Amino acid sequence: FLNLFRGQDGVDNPILWLGSQKLVIYSIIIAMVWQAIGYYMVMYMASMANIPDSLYESASLEGAGRIKQFFSITLPLIWTNIRTTLTFFVISTINMSFLMVKAMTNGGPDGASNVFLSYMYQEAYTNSSYGYGMAIGVAVFLFSFALAAVLNAVTKREEIEF
């Protein structure tokens, strides 16, 4: 589909998005972002809908522009939701990367799109080294748990309520 936008050259000489070792991981990243963007957009829209219009009205009367209102009102009031969605994103990315790689390329071409969990799957179920595969799984779990904890510590702020 994307090759059609390249014109006649795209039909005669198509780019192999999932067949090129240089492009495969970027293609999977774009697919993962496209898959998740709707979910996170609904989360942010729902949290922004809960901000009272009176806050924006009073800021406007005091001379605050749209950008100032966003950084002074919107962002602080949805910060808890931003922290939550960032944590969801980090944890789900680790899991979804395996699912996307398995469905789209199965690790190819020549292992260029393999991720930690696909290596775990390969060790546990292809090489029948269950213990080693489960050890990789525990390491990935500890890594994702630590990453989520660091993310929560870095993004921690005083909670603002209206």
Confidence (pLDDT) at 23: 79
Q: Report the number of distinct structural domains present in the chain.
A: 1
Domain extent at residue 115 = 2-154
DSSP state of 69: H
CATH code for the domain of 143: 1.10.3720.10
Residues 15 and 23: beta-carbon distance below 8 Å? yes
Which residues, 6 or more positions from 27, have their beta carbon under 8 angstroms from its beta carbon?
17, 18, 104
The tokens describing 37, both together, are 């963007």
Which residue type, as a one-letter code, is found at position 51?
Answer: I
Buried b (16+ CB within 10 A) or exposed e, 44-74: eeebeeeeeeeebeebeeeebeeeeeeeebb
Confidence (pLDDT) at 62: 95
* 123 inside domain: yes
* 134 inside domain: yes
* 150 inside domain: yes
* pLDDT band for position 114 (cuts 50, 70, 90): confident
* 130 inside domain: yes
Is the pLDDT score of 58 beyond 90?
A: yes
Confidence (pLDDT) at 162: 64
* 161 inside domain: no
Is the pLDDT score of 31 beyond 70?
A: yes
* 160 inside domain: no
* 106 inside domain: yes
Q: How much is the mean pLDDT over the chain? A: 86
Is the pLDDT score of 18 beyond 80?
A: no
Which residue is it, tokens 């991981």?
A: 25
